[in-house]
Amino acid sequence: MEIRTAEEDTGVGRSVDLSKVSVAQRTQREKIAYLRSPVAIRERCGQLFTLVNEGKSEYFTCDLTQLGRVADYVIAVMRGEYPSLQIPFHSRWRHFEAGGVPRLARLDSLLAGLTPIEKAIAKFDLAIVSVLLDAGAGDRWFYYERSTELKLGRSEGLAVASFQMFCQGMFASNGCLQTDAQRLQTFTELELTSGFQVNEENPLVGISGRWQLLQKLSEALTSSPDLFGEENPRPGNLVIYLVGQAENGQLAATTVLDAVLAGLSDIWPGRIQVAGVNLGDVWQHSAISDDGLVPFHKLSQWLTYSLLEPLQELGLVITGLDALTGLPEYRNGGLCLDLGLISAKHPDILSSSHSVASEVIVEWRALTVILLDRIAVTVREKLGMSNEELPLVKILQGGTWTSGRKIAAELRTGGIPPIQIASDGTVF
């Protein structure tokens, strides 16, 4: 297998031993499929988790005796947010109602004349473009919503900003409530800057990276007509494909993730490639056996979680929720650091800024994936609840993500994460 970064050529035009093509291609396809799977995420992250617990890591130690303490903290936050423990999914839809404003009711009223499938397509259009714009905003940026006079930062601000742009028809070639490839092709960085209210006094991390993702999204939509439609490619047309994948009214969560990764992997910039295929949120660590690759697919899984609710509204039953992993980002990872499940071996890990591709960040994210599973098990045991009653996607919402933000606000001005990441607006 040949591994390249996105900047390298794909080997087109080189001489090929035809007797080996079919076997090599099959092996590479299998490798790509594996690295796109939650199974691979857990296995590769598990290797780094073992490394840390054997004391062989350069960067971190792990203290599993703190699991009970962390679970108690998470449960207290869950009960504070959801006293009845009727917790919704961790998804973009929660952010759209930031500040207690019923924006989704407004959206439903705007979509009232559409059929159920058309409504689902429109909601996919909104969720996909909004999630792709959702990487960390930094602690200085905010969005001012004129209709409510609310100032919203971070994920909630990004969500409401993209919601308002969508409702204004900014992502649609016809000015309607949709996102389409034709409009995204002409969407400018200045329009995105204006929509997010970015200026020198209100800086947003990675604005160029976000705009470039929209340009790449347009290309991805037109290059996969089987997923996004041929005549008028829209991200929402993925609904039609997924409904066709359902059996007896049931659809596996991993089927949704597979479609997201197949349709959108090419949008990620500067990523590792295998056989010319962009792997997306996959990084290298020297301690990993075989090919050294560690997959996460954080934004793709966050997007998958955010697409499940419109599918449920169509009457589909989503199965295998816990096959997906927890999200390895700085709120969940920060929770583990701030409450002592993970400790940094050197002060400069906490005082310096690190590239997303650095081994320290890859290792931190890997530990986060495995520890989220451990936290979930401990939380369920303490509450006497089953996986079905409290799947991981609800524990994230209730939950670990909220707890990570809360403890960060208690410990650091501005609620910044314990480790600083040099972000380009396309990962966290």
Contacts of 292 (CB under 8 A, 6+ apart): 284, 285, 286
Mean per-residue pLDDT, 252-272? 92
* DSSP character at residue 247: B
**220 pLDDT exceeds 50?**
yes
**What's the rounded Cα separation, in Å, for the pair 224 and 162?**
24
The predicted structure's pLDDT at residue 25 = 63
DSSP 3-state assignment of 86? Answer: coil
DSSP 3-state assignment of 273? Answer: strand
Contact 39, 324 (CB under 8 A): no
pLDDT confidence band for 268 (50 / 70 / 90): confident
**What's the rounded Cα separation, in Å, for the pair 245 and 173?**
29
Range of weakest confidence among 14-23, 131-140, 172-181, 318-327: 14-23
Chain Cα centroid distance, residue 393: 12
Contacts of 258 (CB under 8 A, 6+ apart): 36
Give the chain's largest Cα–Cα span: 67
Contact 327, 334 (CB under 8 A): no
CA torsion through residues 93, 94, 99, 105, sign: positive
Chain Cα centroid distance, residue 360: 20
Task: Could you list the beta-strand ranges (E) of 64-155.
Answer: 142-145, 150-153
End-to-end, the C-alpha distance of the chain in Å comes to 29
**156 pLDDT exceeds 90?**
yes
Read off the pLDDT of residues 320-346 as tens digits, 9 standing for 90 and up. Answer: 999 999 999 999 999 999 999 999 999
Which residue intervals of 265-358 are DSSP H helices?
A: 298-313, 330-338, 347-351
**9 pLDDT exceeds 50?**
no
Q: Which position has the token pair 């006293």?
A: 83
Task: Could you list the beta-strand ranges (E) of 146-264.
Answer: 150-153, 250-252
Helices 253-264, 298-313: inter-axial angle, 10-degree rounding: 120
**190 pLDDT exceeds 70?**
yes
pLDDT confidence band for 206 (50 / 70 / 90): confident
Mean per-residue pLDDT, 199-216? 91
The predicted structure's pLDDT at residue 423 = 74
**What's the rounded Cα separation, in Å, for the pair 378 and 3?**
39
Mean per-residue pLDDT, 211-234? 94
**What's the rounded Cα separation, in Å, for the pair 328 and 334?**
10
Mean per-residue pLDDT, 380-394? 96
Contacts of 127 (CB under 8 A, 6+ apart): 91, 92, 93, 303, 306, 307, 310
Q: Which position has the token pair 């670990």?
A: 400
Q: Based on the number of CB atoms within 10 Å of its own CB, is 285 exposed (0-12), middle (13-18) or buried (19 or more)?
A: buried
The predicted structure's pLDDT at residue 137 = 76
Q: Based on the number of CB atoms within 10 Å of its own CB, is 17 exposed (0-12), middle (13-18) or buried (19 or more)?
A: exposed
pLDDT confidence band for 214 (50 / 70 / 90): very high
Structure tokens at 203: 């800086």
Burial 207-232 (b: 16+ CB within 10 A, else e): beebbbbbbbbbebbbebeebbbeee
Rounded alpha-carbon distances, angstroms, from residue 134 to 129, 137, 254: 9, 8, 22
Mean per-residue pLDDT, 241-265? 96
Mean per-residue pLDDT, 9-28? 48
Contact 428, 136 (CB under 8 A): yes
The predicted structure's pLDDT at residue 18 = 38
* DSSP character at residue 399: I
**What's the rounded Cα separation, in Å, for the pair 6 and 9?**
8
Mean per-residue pLDDT, 17-42? 78
What is the percent of the chain with per-residue pLDDT over 70, rounded to a whole number?
93
The predicted structure's pLDDT at residue 21 = 46
**2 pLDDT exceeds 80?**
no
The predicted structure's pLDDT at residue 134 = 85
**What's the rounded Cα separation, in Å, for the pair 240 and 311?**
10
**17 pLDDT exceeds 60?**
no
Read off the pLDDT of residues 19-31 as tens digits, 9 standing for 90 and up. Answer: 444 556 668 989 9
Rg value, the chain, Cα:
21
**What's the rounded Cα separation, in Å, for the pair 302 and 155?**
12
Q: Which position has the token pair 């490619």?
A: 233
